[in-house]
Structure 1
Amino acid sequence: MIPEDSRFENDPEELVAEAPELPSGWAVGSPDPADRFDVARLTHLLRAHERHGRGWAGAGVDDVLVEVSEHGLRTRQNVVVRDADGEIRAWGSAHDRAAGRMLFVHVVERDLPERVAKACSDVLFEWAVGQAKVLGAARGLESQQIDTGAFADDERQHKWLADAGFERVRTWWQMSRPVVSDEADLVPEPARWEDRGVVFRRVRRAPEGGMPDAEDLRKVHEVLEGAFVDHFNHHEETFEEFVHRLREDPGHRWDHWWLAELVEDGGRTPVGTLVGAVSESSGGGPDGSYVEYLGVLEAARGRGVAKGLLRTIIADAAARGRDRVGLEVDADSSTGADGLYTSMGWVTKYVTESWHRDVPVG
């Protein structure tokens, strides 16, 4: 059942005209999140896509369920192409991320003949453009952005995106830093410590690991909105959208959220925040930590806030027995943030790209 507040069209046939280029018997439809074979097949396709694009696969069943489960259908919708035997050969997923921004996942089986693979790709793009128009109309927009990604070395994906009217707009370095047990002492205590008039602390939570303090969560949201307002492709996200989206993340943990507060005039002002997550290992090794967001308000930059937050998540990861901390860096940004990361031991593991298409809603 599609939630009433979903802005998407849930019937693929309303958006995709006949697809004569598909082989006879192939059909366009929706995945069934309750069907373990569908979920397993989507996981296989996604992992093969990652393996081809960067050399190794990291996605798992939980990542697929974020996209296709009924819980996620408040802000997401999916389409699949099935062969004559009902097996999924291509998958598209749209995410209503924020006003004016729709994320799009585009995955086509790697072993298909070129003509068939291209036909599947065209179906996914046609569906995505249709969803963009529906979503944009529901939000009262004149134009709706489709934001999709590609691995830097995936030439097949690049060609399809360019042919479908997408433009490569940004490059991202996916960085990682090793963590050793001794680094648990990088800060006095990851839960709370102070340095040069700045307090670094975890967001407050109810006793015995309950829900976090609503006021603290709003402080995190406000700092991020203020810190990223001038950043590339920033679209304002409501507090409710922000919390709902991050809670869907399989790696989400409330005890991986930190605030940095400036102590002055007898009070404390939030000036920075780090939202972290668990990066689970798929090979039986130690898990890692991941920096989902690191934001510092402009007025507080140059006071060591970003470095203090990074030292905090490194120390926290070491205390938990983790072996790495990952993050994403805008390779085209002029802020120089990459210099901080490399100085603290981060190195680039692989590179991704953002591709955009603006769809007139009409």
Structure 2
Amino acid sequence: MEPMLPEESRFETGLVEVVGGYAELPSGWTVDTPDARDRFDVSRLTRLLRDHERHGRGWPGSGVDDVLVEVSDTGERMRANVVVRDGDEEIRAWGSVHDRAGGRMLFVHIVDRDLPDDVAKVCSDVLFHWAEGQAVAVGSARGLEVQQIDTGAFEDDARQHDWLEGAGFDRVRSWWQMKRPVTPDEATLVPSTDKWESEGVRVRLVGRGADGMPDHDDLRDVHDVLEQAFRDHFNSREETFDEFVHRLREDPGHRWDHWWLAELLDVPDAPQPVGALVATEVSSATGPNGSYVSYIGVLGDARGRGVAKSLLSTVIADAAGRGRDRVTLEVDADSPTGADGLYVGMGWETSYVTESWHRDVPVTGTPRQQG
């Protein structure tokens, strides 16, 4: 099952067209693209990312696989990257953009923490200028009048906040990154993580064929439920089924046996999909792995039936059965559904806080491609 994606990238591949000249960079410094086949480039990007995380929240969590999601050839139709190299060709700043959904472009902005303030600021400006040009390119390709750049920052990263404000971004949302410890005895929290039911609600893994691949209709149901469940949530943008599946499969922790559907059994012969949970495996260099809830959504008409709690109980039991020690997730600090109350009641606590920063870029010119 290969998702149908645009035949070519919507991004501009020519750096000169997007960045132009930057005389402010120190002599001998260059603007370039990273090479995923160069182990030195990948190693340097990994160190930059981990330093960025360590400074922002106190510890690093990403690894080589997370970097390769951004820079490898497999993601080139939906992503683009830029780096700033010093006179010794060492990468000192990195920008990555992701054509996530119609009108929404994600942007990663990382600058070496060891640079002098004035040089770091110039590198930051290069990344912002490049991202603006890419927003125009992808917005034009999609036939839009305005393209949103969506980037993030850790709550306590003052340097990043100053740069974002100076580049015209607005802080628009906060997100609680929550963690719940898991104990081995919780493997029996539900009768079976493959399929179980209670009080007219059934939770089950998405079906699998003889070839081990997931049932296409089940994946469609997962996508449809999540699209409907989040339609009125903050910054929700319609994402096609193909974009959704491709993006989730890119995650280094992706596992088909971490996708669950919840169904109402009010009509026994016609179970109604009303909830979905997609999780991933999170690796750890110092202890057991964990599970991360990438998505959990419940249709409005089914709320109050215990669907969300049943799905969360299932992912906890699954993590315990796999010998994992935690389940983590992200929740909107201003969620209108009160989901945080459910999480806290089930044992989740906030580990750190991240923020969303947005900038709307006007798109000019004639679209070069419709996507």
- Place the TM-score, normalised by the shorter chain, in its bin: over 0.9
Task: Percent identity, please.
Answer: 71
Residues 18-33 of structure 1 aligned to structure 2 (within 5 Å): 18-33=21-36
Equivalence for 1:175: 178
1:65-84 pair list within 5 angstroms: 65-84=68-87
Q: Structure 2: how far apart are the matches of 1:316 and 1:149?
A: 30
| Contact residue 13 and residue 28 of structure 1 kept, 8 A | no
1:95 aligns with 2:95: no
Name the Cα RMSD after superposition. 0.8
Aligned partner of residue 275 in structure 2, secondary structure: strand
Which consecutive unaligned segments of at least 5 residues does structure 2 have?
1-5, 365-371
Aligned residue for 2:168?
165
Tell me how many residue pairs correspond in the alignment.
Answer: 358
Q: What's the secondary structure of 1:74's corresponding residue?
A: coil
Structure 1 partner of 2:126:
123
Rounded to whole Å, the distance in 2 between the matches of 1:4 and 1:217 is 23
Could you tell me the TM-score, scaled by structure 1's length? 0.98
Q: Which runs of 4+ in 1 moved over 3 A?
A: none
Which of the residues 8, 12, 15 maps onto 2:15? 12
The C-alpha deviation readout for 1:232-251, integer Å capped at 9, x for no partner, is: 00000000000000000001
User: Which residue of structure 1 aligns with residue 246 of structure 2?
Assistant: 244
TM-score with structure 2 setting the length: 0.96
* Equivalent residue letter for 1:53: G
The match for 1:302 is 304
Instruction: Write out per-residue CA displacement over residues 215-258 of structure 1, whole angstroms, 9 at most, x where no aligned residue.
Output: 00000000001100000000000000000000000010000000
2:52 to 49, 53, 72: 49
Corresponding residue for residue 190 of structure 2 = 187
Q: Which residue of 2 aligns with 1:230?
A: 232
| Runs of at least 5 residues in structure 1 that lack an aligned partner in the other structure | none
Give 2:137's aligned residue.
Answer: 134
Q: Distance in 2 between matches of 1:42 and 1:231?
A: 33
Shift of 1:334: 2.5
Paired AA for residue 330 in structure 1: D
The whole-number CA distance in structure 2 between the counterparts of 1:279 and 1:328 is 14
Q: Deviations over 1:41-68 (max 9, x none)?
A: 0000000000000000000000000000
Question: What displacement does 1:346 show?
Answer: 0.2
> What residue is the counterpart of 1:339 in the other structure?
341
Check conservation: 1:31, 1:79, Cα contact below 8 A. Answer: yes
For residue 62 of structure 1, the aligned residue among 39, 61, 65 is: 65
Deviation at 1:74, TM superposition (A): 1.3
Counterpart secondary structure, 1:255: strand
Alpha-carbon distance between aligned partners in 2 of 1:166 and 1:231, rounded to the nearest angstrom: 21
Rounded to whole Å, the distance in 2 between the matches of 1:263 and 1:335 is 24
Counterpart in the other structure of 1:202: 205
Report the alpha carbon displacement of residue 4 of structure 1 after superposing the two structures with TM.
4.0
Which amino acid in structure 1 is aligned with residue 92 of structure 2? Answer: R
Query: How far is the alpha carbon of 1:18 from its aligned partner?
Result: 1.1
Equivalent in the alignment of 2:260: 258
What displacement does 1:12 show?
Answer: 1.5
Secondary structure of the equivalent of 1:250? coil
For 1:32-43, what aligned pairs fall within 5 Å after superposition? 32-43=35-46
CA contact (8 A) 1:225 1:236 kept: yes
Q: Give the Cα separation in 2 of the matches to 1:212 and 1:162.
A: 44
Code of the residue aligned with 1:192 in structure 2: it is K
- Cα-to-partner distance string for 1:267-288 (whole Å, 9 max, x where unaligned): 20000000000011122x1000
